[in-house]
Amino acid sequence: MSFTRRSLLLTGAAALLAPGDYAADMITLSPSPKDLEMPVEGFIDEITPVEHFFVRSHTMIPEVKLPSWKLEVAGLVGSPLTLTLDDLKKLPRAELVSVLECAGNGRGLYQPHMAGAQWRFGSVGNARWTGVRLKDVLAKASVKPTATQVLMSGADDPLAAMPKFQRTLEVAKAMHPDTLLAWEMNGQPLTPEHGFPLRLIAPGWASDSWVKWLTRLELLDHDFDGFWMKTAYRHPNKHIAPGASVDAKDLVPVTDLNVKSVIAHPGEWALPGVVTVQGVAWSNASPVTKVDVSADGGKTWSTAKLTSTPTKYGFRKWSFAWKAAAGQYTLMSRAANAAGQVQPMEPEWNPSGYLNNATQPMPVVISATKPAPAAVAVATDTQPEPDGYKTACFICHDDHMMQQQHLTRAQWDKEVTKMTGWGAPLKDEQRNGLLDYLAGHYKP
């Protein structure tokens, strides 16, 4: 397995992006590939500022130059197109506010744990997106009646033998008037992190479908069997017991988001008196209709006030005036939508950890003085790094990826197989030592 010059150059390009473009309180799950999570305090805003907006990239962020960038529309179309950004801007402008939520948001809160980016609350944000309707672009290309799927490809290149991130949209979703190709986020051109110059907007759906850095749309008459459609972003179509395995035939693609809410305020401590409990709620195509708040871990509930004007797919702010005496409490919030869906107390566990919308307990201390912060445990790690760890595992990313996992040896074994499949140059004789190390350090 050889590491191409291209992947090294891309690493260099990613490093050019100033870290200062992000708020200091962003949680770095991985610096490169760049995975940044918004802290819960960020849920105070209805529109998430770009510097607080989570970032999720499976590989390095490509540096796209506008003069040479084009969008191709090909496959089962009467007139194949090659469009510049100026060509797109001649079509009717479309704009909407929508939540963008990673399918894996809340993965880190599932029990038992599974491998993957350990997002807790903040791989979600709400922005105003501006561009054109995808259906207008497809109409210009005259989609043939046999087409069923739109295959979307972006300018990001995979590292080594990793499969390229490509996704399909069913033609029905592609033709929906709210499905956009956007070049602006909150009134500014998309930043490189969020897909400059053009990304897909699929309101109501999880963000694995929101392909960034778009370069090509190809109309197909069959399901696409690339890794990110066939294997990733699938969940069971029925309830399964937590930890159980699922037959591939019972897995369906992730599409709609779940109704959900997060508490932004008061955080871990507040003074006795009337405490304003605040946050946001969101849903899929069915709007949020109600948010309830509990201060006793879900035993009793009170209805919160919805305080922002509803948008079809955006965050809805809510607030609740809680009369709190000194003590320790567990706050929870629970949203419901017009379709009658309600946030559950227990999440619907699935093997890849998608769409966790369970109500989460938020412990809070109410006292006249701020409690001292809990002592941070200092690692007393003496186990030496095994042979091959750095040389096989630190080529595409660093150990942020490993540290956030809490896996059994069997789960680490699968992870190492995935990574050697993607090109990690681990020698057979190094494998056991590496597994002992990973399973010893980053365990459940």
Q: Nearest-5° angle of CA 128, CA 167, CA 406?
A: 90
Do residues 175 and 412 lie in contact, with contact meaning Cβ atoms separated by under 8 Å? Answer: no
Selection from 119, 100, 22 nearest residue 61 by Cα: 22
Q: How many residues bind ligand MTE (CB under 6 A)?
A: 19
Contact between 32 and ligand MTE per CB under 6 A: no
User: At closest approach, how far in Å is the CB of 1 from ligand HEC?
Assistant: 8
Should residue 400 be labelled a site residue for ligand HEC when binding is judged by CB under 6 A?
no
Q: Is 102 in the site for Mo ion (CB under 5 A)?
A: yes
Considering only the stretches 146-154, 330-338, 374-382, 423-431, report the one whose residues sit in contact with ligand HEC under the rule CB under 6 A.
423-431
- Find the helix or strand (DSSP H, E) in which 323 lies: strand 316-324
| Interacting span for ligand HEC (CB under 6 A) from 82-90, 244-252, 326-334, 411-419 | 411-419
Which residues face 264 on adjacent strands?
A: none
Q: Which partner in ligand MTE, Mo ion, ligand HEC, none is near 26 (CB below 5 to 8 A by kind)?
A: none
Q: Please provide the DSSP assignment of 389-438 as one string.
A: HHHHHSSSS-THHHHT----HHHHHHHHHHHHHTT----HHHHHHHHHHH
Measured between alpha carbons, how far is residue 249 from residues 29, 103, 238 in Å? 32, 20, 12
**Residue 235, H or E segment:** strand 234-236
Whether residue 155 contacts residue 64, with contact meaning beta carbons closer than 8 Å, is answered with yes
Q: Provide CB contacts within 8 A for 306, sequence distance 6+.
A: 288, 290, 291, 316, 317, 318
Residue 13 is inside which H or E element, if any?
helix 5-15
Which 200-229 residues touch ligand MTE, going by CB under 6 A?
A: 207-208, 210-213
Task: Indicate which of Mo ion, ligand MTE, ligand HEC, none lies near residue 397 (CB less than 5 to 8 Å, by partner kind).
Answer: ligand HEC
- At CA 239, angle to CA 257 and CA 288, rounded to 5? 30
Contact track, ligand MTE, 91-110, x by CB under 6 A: ---------x-x--------
Tell me which residue of 218, 283, 233 sits closest to 81, measured CA to CA.
Answer: 218
131 binds ligand MTE (CB under 6 A): no
Q: Is the dihedral of CA 276, 280, 281, 286 positive or negative?
A: positive
Q: Does 426 bind ligand HEC (CB under 6 A)?
A: yes
The answer to the question of residue 55 lying near Mo ion (CB under 5 A) is: no
Site for ligand MTE in 162-191 (CB under 6 A): 165
Closest CA to 185 of 276, 6, 53: 53
Give the residue with the Cβ less far from ligand HEC, 159 or 182.
159
Could you tell me if 400 and 31 are in contact, meaning their C-beta atoms sit under 8 angstroms apart?
yes
- Closer residue to ligand MTE (CB): 107 or 334: 107
- Decide: is 59 part of the binding site for ligand HEC (CB under 6 A): yes
Q: Show contacts with Mo ion in window 1-40 (CB under 5 A).
A: none
Smallest separation, CB 129 to ligand MTE (Å): 11
Helices and strands of the chain, counted as H and E runs: 9, 24
Distance in angstroms (rounded) separating the CA atoms of residues 208 and 203: 12
Q: Is residue 105 part of the contact set for ligand HEC (CB under 6 A)?
A: no
Interacting residue with ligand MTE among 54, 282, 313, 329 (CB under 6 A):
54
> Does 156 interact with ligand MTE (rule: CB under 6 A)?
yes
Q: Which does 392 bind (CB under 5 to 8 A by kind): Mo ion, ligand MTE, ligand HEC, none?
A: ligand HEC
Task: Between 121 and 318, name the residue whose CB sits nearer to ligand MTE.
Answer: 121
- Transcribe 94-123 into DSSP letters: EEEEEEEE-TTTTGGG-SS--SS----S-S
Sign of CA dihedral 49, 355, 209, 95: negative
The nearest distance, CB 339 to ligand HEC, in angstroms, is 31
**Cβ neighbours of residue 337 under 8 Å, at least 6 residues apart?**
259, 283, 284, 286, 287, 288, 289
Nearest to ligand MTE of 137, 426 (CB atom) = 137
Question: Residue 421 Cβ, how far from Mo ion at the closest point, in Å?
Answer: 20
DSSP state of 256: B
CB of 3 to ligand HEC, least distance (A): 7
Q: Which is nearer to ligand HEC, 231 or 328 (CB)?
A: 231
Task: Report 132-161 residues binding ligand HEC (CB under 6 A).
Answer: 159-160
Binding partner selected for residue 264 from ligand MTE, ligand HEC, Mo ion, none, CB under the kind-specific 5 to 8 Å limit: none
Binding track over 396-435 against Mo ion, x by CB under 5 A = ----------------------------------------
Q: Report the alpha-carbon distance of residue 345 to residue 294 in Å, rounded.
A: 12
Note whether 14 binds ligand HEC by CB under 6 A.
Answer: no
Q: Which residues bind ligand HEC (CB under 6 A)?
A: 33, 58-59, 115-116, 159-160, 162, 392-393, 395-397, 401-402, 405, 415-416, 418-419, 422-424, 426
Q: Applying CB under 6 A, which residues contact ligand MTE?
A: 53-58, 100, 102, 154, 156, 165, 193-194, 207-208, 210-213
